């Protein structure tokens, strides 16, 4: 086998590894907690759509939320139980936000849904395998959680090299390490399946040389293969953070850089995390969807750091409790690694598909940030930056909100690895400054887009109005001409043969019917856009404003139509020819109907109010006002009825 | 319970700016020892004096600017400026020279520009240049002869007296520096005649200056220590010494006409300048390529001024001139960012 030529990447740091603590014990299945909280958006892409309702019973492995789109991901029940509420719950996010989550009250039986894997994946077409991966709800388990079926759907002809990311360069995290040590054959099997889909010329497993056992295990598993058709090879790389960054690992193993603004596929590379490969194995060979993962639980406050196989949705507090964590000793609770992880505030937050590590850090190991000093332009940050940026320049530009220059200095290429902050002797939280500047740039772009859009909308609107006005004028002219002509004809006709006037009643009826139809359609549209709007608000989408605008427009349209119908009706009634005594309703009956209608309306309003009160919504006041109004109307209607009937 | 809410990275390397500055100060110790051994205790007194003045000035300005005093003093930047300035000054310069130079360095060259990190010019060199231009006599007559050439050397008491009170006896101790001597004699004498002067060591080839050679080697050792500790990168000192060396090889190969290479390298403030002054991060270029250009520029300027200018040593002016250029150099030497075909050059255009 040919020696793999390794390349170095610029910069990088060597923080304390702190990996030994959690590798002394084997992987343990975490307890099944009483309830699981499963956010419907654990991946990049559209949130999935719940397909269960509260009260449903589910089996382990049963689909509970369906991927909304192609770029979305299925979600399955990690164990058997009953669906609790579907509501907003804290999710892993730096901003401590909440998001829609499905609760499962577990029954402890852990009863599987009937499932089976493929007998021999080699007989399956790649499309079929991708479909199975999609059904299993697999996302990248390493970092951002990109749906795996999307990534693997790239045309196989584009991929020369498949790289398996097993570098695990962040301190503390050992979940991939332990997975490879204990399940190396399954991992290799998953990699083979991946290669079968993508047909690469070579497949490299990039792994930092601080994991000799894992390297050994993988090598043995590879040696056991009957045929290594895709040249799967272990590449032991020097330990240096962030060698596990996608771009850096590609650079180390291929010597090539992912072009700016491009994808690894542009240089014929596809990268998958080693945990993802294992999940693929489970989905294809065993037919098991992705419902659990290996998570490292570590940190000084944790009495026995180790790796657990954790069901998704397990709340952090349950996991910490199982690991005997002294919560009073925890000063910082980090989900992910110490370089790029997020801090948690709420131990109710669940473990999700991307949770590779949980650090219950004491004040001693992750001290509170030191006071920021002046930048002395020492350039240590420049030396550490793997993206070959000039962090200190970015810092000055970010600090002064000089976004133009920050962009020109390629702030967008910063991978937020934190190497610069790590080395900075002045303890400047550089990455925080960059995040701020990036946010500002995003905001500025969005604003620009919006104002550009608004201008465009304004222009099209003016053009449309002008056109409509012109059309109207033309029509009016035509009409008046036609009317004049008709008048003349009529006169002539009348003079010739006096007959009753044209049947204007039918015309009016047809008009009304058409209008009614339009009205109905508009109403339907409004309903639809209302639900869309609600969804958008729930997912914090930026479409909210647009949808709101559309809704308002539809509503005015509806009002217009209703008005027109009423007018048309009036007109048709007013037409003397239409006055049909039979259809003339008795005023008393009409009034009674009115009262009845008012009553139902009021009951409905009351019902809504009660519901709102129960759920303690803040719409109670508004609804109360509505009920009062309806009541007043009802009273008025009753009064008129009484007066009329006397 | 309340956990810390902070975004990544969570791990940072221990230490602060003070550690960096202290290490640089530490690295000057071999040089200080050599200077004291060969030129008497003058520098020790100057360092103490300059440090006190620097700290007082710094504290006063910090107070005026309503900045935390102790926190900022603890970054040791004022102390480092004082030490480097004192090492550049002649050992027996009168006290008021030191006070003027130091206070100007701290108050004007550093704090008036916004304090640490904001000053475009190396404060120590501004202070040095100011007194060099303003008090040329005091500055050129205060270098002592190497103590080997003095009968009894210079005692601490004598040193104090020279610096603080009577300068009547100063002529007994002082002497022109080797670079000065060579430069002025080379027009009249041959190399061998010049080197007969006892301030040069006997071995005429290669020419070296008594005492100075050890001083420079000591600063070189301190510089290598810092390089090893990663306090700066190799770029500036290597390109500075490299250009100086090349120039004196190509232009000054004839030691009967020009100061020879060995004296350029191992006399005067060359090593102090190359490793301690040109590498001052605040005022130097920060990009890898920029540092090479910056260091090379200083090397050229030192050679040019030493050879054709009116000053025998030129580190201060060379550094200050390149300080001017550093921001500009930085803009045009940005490294190529990962994944980009070419590097950005210059600042973004305003549209
Ligand atoms: S490491 Fe810190 S102090 Fe040094 S240049 Fe970078 S930002 Fe400035
Ligand atoms: S966080 Fe950004 S600027 Fe800092 S080292 Fe990483 S890539 Fe470079």
For chain B, what is the total number of helices (H) and then of strands (E)? 17, 0
Are A548 and A618 contained in the same domain?
A: no
Average pLDDT, chain A: 85
Looking at chain B from residue 200 to 239, which residues have their Cβ under 8 Å from any Cβ of chain A?
Answer: 230-233
Domain shared by A409 and A533, yes or no: no
**Across B188-214, average pLDDT:** 74
pLDDT-based confidence at residue B147 (cuts at 50, 70, 90):
confident
Give me the torsion for CA of B209, B214, B216, B221, rounded to 10°: 160
Residue A355 lies in a domain: no
Q: Is A409 in CB contact (< 8 Å) with chain B?
A: yes
Q: Which among A410, A420, A435, A444 is the top mutation candidate for probing chain B, defined by the most B β-carbons within 10 Å of its own β-carbon?
A: A410
Q: Does position A644 have pLDDT exceeding 50, yes or no?
A: yes
Q: How far is the CA of B281 from the centre of ligand 1 (A)?
A: 10
Q: Has residue B289 got a pLDDT over 80?
A: yes
Predicted confidence band at B131 (pLDDT cuts at 50, 70, 90)? very high
Residue pair A130/A194 in contact by the 8 Å Cβ criterion: no
> Which residue, B233, B275, B244, B276, is CA-closest to B124?
B276
DSSP string of B267-318? Answer: STTHHIIIIIITT-GGGS--SHHHHHHHHHHHHHHHHHHHHHSS-S--HHHH
Compute the average pLDDT of residues A137-157.
87
Per the CB < 8 A criterion, the answer to whether B178 and B306 are in contact is no
CB contact under 8 A, A343 and B4: yes
User: Residue-wise over B18-57: b if at least 16 C-beta within 10 A, else e?
Assistant: bebbbbbbebbebbbebbbbbbbbbbbbbbebbbebbbeb
Q: What is the mean pLDDT of residues A394-399?
A: 92
Contacts A15 to B, Cβ<8 Å? 11, 13
Residue A186: half-sphere exposure toward Cβ, Cα within 13 Å: 18
Distance from the alpha carbon of residue B27 to the mean position of ligand 2, in angstroms: 30
Residues of A in contact with B233 (CB under 8 A): 379, 383
Bridge partners (DSSP) of residue A109 are none
What is the mean pLDDT of the segment spanning A159-174?
A: 93
Q: Are A422 and A386 in contact (CB under 8 A)?
A: no
Burial A186-224 (b: 16+ CB within 10 A, else e): bbbbbbbbbbbbbebebbbbbbbebbeebbebbbebbee
- Ligand 2 center from residue A293 Cα (angstroms): 29
Peptide bond into A242 cis (omega under 30): yes
- Tell whether A266 is within 8 A of chain B (Cβ): no
Q: Where are the beta strands (DSSP E) in A312-387?
A: 330-335, 342-343, 357-362
Q: What is the pLDDT of residue B36?
A: 92
CA of B138 to the centre of ligand 1 (A): 39
Write down which residue in A272, A287, A302 finishes a domain. Answer: A287
Q: How confident is the model at residue B202 (pLDDT cuts 50, 70, 90)?
A: low
Return the pLDDT at A547: 62
Chain-centroid distance of CA B130 in Å reads: 14
- pLDDT value of position B173: 73
| Mean pLDDT of the region A79-92 | 92
Asked, for residue A208, whether it belongs to a domain, the answer is yes
Q: What local confidence, expressed as pLDDT, does residue A617 receive?
A: 63
More confident residue, A570 or A388: A388
CB interface of B with A, residues 239-278, below 8 Å: none
In this prediction, residue A580 has a pLDDT band, given cuts at 50, 70 and 90, of very low
Model confidence at A343: pLDDT above 90: yes
Residue A50's SS3 state is strand
DSSP letters, B50-112, are HHHHHHHHHHHHHHHTT--HHHHHTT-HHHHHHHHHHHHS-TT--HHHHHHHHHIIIIIIIGG
Q: Take residue A434 and report the two structure tokens written for it.
A: 């960059």
Query: Looking at the DSSP assignment, which residues form a beta bridge with residue A332?
Result: A361
Whole-number pLDDT of residue A501: 46
Residue A603 or residue A399, greater confidence: A399
Q: From the centroid of its chain, how far is CA B88? A: 6
Interface test with A, best of B73, B328, B337 (most A CBs within 10 A): B337
Q: What is the per-residue DSSP string for A468-505?
A: HHHHHHHHHHHHHHHHHHHHHHHHHHHHH---PPP-HH
Q: Which of A335-344, A572-581, B208-217 has the lowest mean pLDDT?
A: A572-581
End-to-end Cα, chain B, rounded Å: 51
pLDDT at A571 exceeding the cut of 70: no
Asked which of A254, A287, A320 is the last residue of a domain, the reply is A287
- CA Rg value for chain B: 21
CB within 6 Å of ligand 2 — which residues? A 384-387, 389, 391, 414-420, 430-431
pLDDT mean over A403-418:
91
Task: State whether the beta carbon of A395 lies less than 6 angstroms from ligand 1.
Answer: yes
Half-sphere exposure for B169 (CA within 13 Å, toward CB): 12
Confidence check: pLDDT of B105 > 50: yes
- Cβ of A384 closer than 6 Å to ligand 1, yes or no, is no
Ligand 1 centre distance from Cα of residue B284 (Å): 13
Q: Which of residues 19-78 of A touch B (CB under 8 A)?
A: none
- Which of A271, A287, A303 terminates a domain? The answer is A287
- Residue A214, φ and ψ in degrees, nearest 5: -65, -40
CA–CA separation, B223 vs B87, rounded Å? 15
* Per-residue pLDDT at A590 exceeds 80: no
Q: What is the percentage of chain B residues whose pLDDT exceeds 70?
A: 95
B233-276, pLDDT tens digit by residue?
A: 999 999 999 999 999 888 878 777 788 888 888 888 899 999 99
Q: Token pair for residue A513? A: 């019917």
CA distance A18 to A132: 37
B76/A532: higher pLDDT: B76
What's the pLDDT score for residue A534? 57
Minimum CA–CA partner of B15 in chain A: A425
Number of domains in chain A: 4
pLDDT digits (tens, 9 = 90+) for A417-431: 999 999 999 999 999
Probe ligand 2: pick from A415, A421, A430, max atoms within 8 Å of CB?
A415
User: Cα(B232)–Cα(B117) distance, rounded to whole angstroms?
Assistant: 16
B43: its two tokens? 């520098």
How far does the CA of residue B228 sit from the closest CA of chain A (Å)?
Answer: 14
- My answer on whether A165 and A246 are in the same domain is yes
Q: Give the residue-averaged pLDDT of B225-240.
A: 93
A205-219, A535-549, A591-605, range with the lowest pLDDT? A535-549
Tell me whether residue A299 is in a domain: no
Residue A581 has pLDDT above 50, yes or no: no
Mutation choice for ligand 1 from A370, A378, A432, A434, CB with most ligand atoms inside 8 A: A378
Give the pLDDT score at A415.
Answer: 92
- Report which protein residue has its CA nearest ligand 1's atom 1: A424
Flag whether A5 is in a domain.
no
A368 or A3: which carries more pLDDT confidence? A368
Residue B175's pLDDT band (cuts 50, 70, 90):
confident
pLDDT in the model for residue A583:
46
Whether A44 is covered by a domain: the verdict is no
Distance A163 CA to ligand 2 centre (A): 23
Ligand 1 pocket, residue A392 CB under 6 Å: yes
Q: What is the pLDDT of residue B269?
A: 87
Q: Are residues A517 and A596 in the same domain?
A: no
With an 8 Å Cβ cutoff, are B335 and A251 in contact?
A: no
Residues 413-442 of A with CB under 8 A from B: 413, 416-418, 421-427, 431-432, 435
Q: Do A536 and A609 reside in the same domain of the chain?
A: no
Ligand 1 site-directed mutation target among A382, A418, A426, most atoms within 8 Å of CB:
A426
Q: pTM here?
A: 0.76
What is the structure's pLDDT at A579?
43
Asked if the interface predicted TM-score (ipTM) of this complex is over 0.90, the answer is no
Strand duo A357-362 + A330-335: pairing: antiparallel
Q: Is residue A123 assigned to a domain?
A: no
Q: Measured between CA atoms, how close is B225 to chain A, in angstroms?
A: 17
Q: Does A623 touch chain B (CB under 8 A)?
A: no
| Domain that residue A622 falls in | 584-646
> Are residues A288 and A279 in contact, defined by beta-carbon separation less than 8 angstroms?
no
User: What is the average per-residue pLDDT within A458-487?
Assistant: 85
Determine the residue of chain A that is closest to B350 in CA distance.
A404
Q: How far is CA A94 from the centre of its chain?
A: 16
CA of B288 from ligand 1 middle (Å) equals 15
Query: Confidence band (pLDDT; 50, 70, 90) for A578?
Result: very low
More confidently predicted of A586 and A76: A76
Domain check: are A258 and A149 in the same one? yes
Q: Are residues A625 and A600 in the same domain?
A: yes
Give exposure, B173-208, as e/b (b: 16+ Cβ within 10 Å). bbbbbbbbbbbebbeeeebeebbebebbbeeeeebb
* Domain co-membership, A642 together with A560: no
* Pairing assessment for the beta strands A292-298 and A357-362 based on DSSP bridges: parallel
pLDDT at A549 over 70: no
Same domain, yes or no: A216 and A248: yes
Q: Tell me whether residue A92 is exposed, middle or buried, using C-beta atoms within 10 angstroms of its C-beta: 0 to 12, 13 to 18, 19 or more.
A: buried
pLDDT tops 70 at residue B70: yes
User: Percent of chain A beyond pLDDT 90?
Assistant: 50
Which sign does the torsion angle of CA A13, A15, A19, A20 carry? positive
Determine the pLDDT at residue A37: 94
- Domain contains A354: no
Question: Cis bond leading into B9, ω under 30°?
Answer: yes
Residues A600 and A518 in one domain: no
Residue B315, token pair as written in the block: 């580190």
Residues A549 and A639 in one domain: no
- Span B294-307, pLDDT tens digits: 999 999 999 999 88
Task: Report the pLDDT value the prediction gives residue A273, as an integer from 0 to 100.
Answer: 94
Which pLDDT value is given to residue B228? 93
> Best of A385, A423, A437 to mutate for ligand 2, by most ligand atoms within 8 A of CB?
A385
Atom of ligand 1 nearest to the CA of A423: 1
Same domain, A597 and A562: no
A21-72 confidence digits (pLDDT tens): 999 999 999 999 999 999 998 888 888 999 999 999 999 999 999 988 888 9
Percent of chain A with pLDDT over 70: 87
- For residue A238, the domain's CATH number is 3.40.50.11540
A548, part of any domain: yes
Question: Does residue A7 belong to the interface with chain B, where contact is any CB pair within 8 Å?
Answer: no
What is the pLDDT, as a whole number, of residue A531?
A: 60
pLDDT class of A502 with cuts at 50, 70, 90: very low
CA atoms of A273 and A164, how far apart (whole Å): 6
| Residue among B133, B169, B136, B127 nearest B152 (CA) | B169
């Amino acid at each position: 086998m040919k020696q793999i030529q390794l390349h170095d990447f610029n910069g990088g740091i060597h923080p304390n590894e702190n990996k030994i603590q959690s590798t002394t014990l084997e992987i343990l299945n975490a307890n099944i907690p009483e309830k699981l909280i499963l956010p419907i958006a654990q991946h990049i892409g559209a949130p999935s759509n719940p397909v269960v309702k509260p009260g449903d019973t589910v089996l382990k492995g049963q689909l509970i939320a369906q991927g909304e789109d192609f770029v979305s991901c299925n979600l399955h029940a990690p164990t058997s139980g009953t669906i609790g509420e579907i509501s907003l719950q804290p999710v892993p996010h730096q901003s401590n936000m909440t998001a829609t989550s499905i609760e499962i009250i577990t029954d402890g039986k852990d009863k599987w849904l009937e499932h089976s894997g493929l007998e021999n994946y080699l007989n399956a077409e790649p499309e079929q395998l991708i479909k199975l991966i999609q059904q299993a709800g697999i996302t990248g388990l390493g970092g951002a959680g990109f749906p795996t079926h999307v990534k693997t759907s790239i045309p196989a002809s584009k991929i020369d090299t498949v790289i398996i990311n097993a570098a695990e360069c962040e301190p503390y995290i050992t979940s991939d390490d332990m997975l490879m040590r204990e399940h190396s054959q399954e991992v290799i099997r998953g990699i083979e399946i991946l290669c079968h889909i993508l047909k690469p010329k070579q497949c490299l497993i990039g792994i930092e040389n601080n994991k000799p056992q894992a390297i050994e295990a993988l090598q043995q598993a590879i040696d056991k293969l009957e045929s290594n058709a895709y040249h799967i090879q272990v590449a032991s790389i020097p330990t240096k953070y962030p060698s596990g960054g996608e771009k850096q690992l590609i650079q180390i193993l291929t010597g090539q850089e992912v072009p700016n603004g491009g994808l690894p596929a542009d240089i014929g590379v596809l990268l998958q995390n080693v945990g993802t490969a294992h999940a693929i194995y489970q989905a294809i060979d065993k037919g098991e969807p992705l419902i659990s993962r290996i998570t490292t639980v570590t940190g000084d406050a944790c009495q026995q750091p180790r790796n657990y196989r954790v069901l998704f949705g397990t709340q952090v507090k349950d996991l910490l409790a199982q690991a005997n964590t002294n919560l009073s000793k925890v000063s910082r609770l980090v989900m992910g690694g110490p370089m790029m992880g997020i801090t948690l505030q709420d131990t109710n937050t669940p473990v999700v598909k991307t949770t590779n590590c949980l650090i219950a850090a004491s004040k001693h190991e992750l001290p509170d940030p030191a006071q920021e000093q002046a930048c002395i332009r020492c350039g240590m940050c420049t030396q550490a930056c793997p993206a070959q940026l000039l962090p200190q320049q970015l810092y000055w530009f970010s600090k002064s909100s000089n976004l133009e220059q920050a962009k020109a200095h390629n702030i967008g290429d910063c991978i937020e690895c934190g190497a610069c902050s790590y080395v900075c002797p002045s303890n400047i939280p550089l990455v925080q400054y960059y995040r701020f500047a990036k946010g500002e740039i995003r905001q500025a772009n969005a604003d620009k887009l919006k104002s550009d859009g608004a201008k465009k909308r304004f222009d099209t609107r003016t053009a449309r109005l002008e056109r409509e006005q012109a059309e109207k004028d033309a029509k009016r002219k035509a009409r008046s001409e036609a009317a004049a002509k008709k008048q003349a004809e009529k006169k002539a006709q009348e003079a010739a043969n006096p007959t009753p006037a044209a049947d204007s009643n039918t015309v009016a009826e047809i008009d009304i019917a058409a209008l009614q139809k339009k009205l109905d359609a508009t109403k339907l549209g409004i309903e639809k856009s209302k639900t869309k709007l609600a969804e958008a608000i729930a997912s914090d989408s930026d479409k909210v404003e647009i949808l709101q605008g559309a809704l308002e427009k539809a509503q005015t349209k509806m009002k217009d139509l209703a008005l027109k119908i009423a007018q048309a009706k009036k007109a048709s009634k007013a037409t003397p020819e239409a006055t049909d005594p039979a259809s003339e309703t008795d005023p008393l009956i009409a009034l009674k109907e009115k009262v009845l209608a008012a009553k139902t309306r009021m009951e409905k309003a009351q019902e809504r109010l009660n519901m709102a009160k129960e759920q303690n919504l803040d719409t109670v006041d508004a609804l109360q006002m509505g009920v009062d109004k309806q009541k007043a109307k009802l009273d008025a209607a009753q009064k008129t009825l009484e007066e009329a009937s006397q | 319970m309340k956990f810390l809410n902070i975004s990544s990275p969570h791990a940072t390397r221990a230490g602060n700016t003070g550690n960096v500055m202290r290490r640089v100060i530490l690295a000057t110790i071999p040089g200080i020892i050599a200077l004291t051994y060969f030129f008497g205790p003058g520098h020790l007194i100057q360092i103490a004096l300059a440090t006190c003045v620097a700290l007082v000035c710094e504290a006063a300005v910090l107070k005026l600017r309503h900045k935390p005093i102790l926190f900022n003093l603890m970054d040791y930047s004022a102390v480092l400026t004082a030490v480097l300035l004192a090492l550049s000054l002649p050992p027996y310069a009168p006290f008021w020279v030191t006070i003027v130079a130091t206070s100007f360095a701290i108050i004007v060259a550093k704090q008036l520009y916004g304090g640490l990190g904001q000053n475009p010019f190396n404060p120590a060199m501004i202070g040095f240049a100011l007194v060099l231009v303003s008090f040329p006599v005091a500055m050129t007559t205060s270098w002592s002869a190497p103590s080997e050439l003095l009968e009894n050397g210079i005692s601490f008491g004598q040193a104090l007296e020279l610096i603080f009170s009577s300068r009547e006896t100063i002529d007994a101790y002082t002497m022109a520096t080797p670079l000065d001597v060579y430069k002025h004699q080379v027009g009249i004498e041959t190399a061998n005649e010049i080197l007969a002067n006892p301030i040069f060591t006997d071995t005429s080839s290669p020419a070296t200056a008594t005492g100075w050679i050890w001083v420079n080697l000591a600063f070189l050792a301190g510089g290598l220590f810092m390089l090893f500790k990663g306090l700066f990168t190799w770029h500036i000192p290597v390109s500075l010494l490299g250009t100086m060396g090349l120039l004196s090889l190509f232009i000054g190969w004839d030691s009967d006409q020009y100061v020879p290479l060995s004296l350029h390298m191992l006399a005067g403030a060359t090593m102090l300048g190359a490793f301690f002054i040109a590498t001052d991060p605040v005022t130097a270029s920060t990009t890898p390529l920029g540092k090479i250009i910056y260091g090379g520029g200083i090397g050229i300027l030192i050679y040019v001024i030493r050879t054709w200018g009116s000053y025998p040593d030129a580190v201060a002016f060379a550094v200050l001139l390149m300080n001017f250029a550093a921001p500009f150099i930085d803009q045009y030497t940005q490294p190529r960012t990962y994944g980009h075909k070419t590097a950005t050059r210059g600042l973004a255009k305003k549209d």
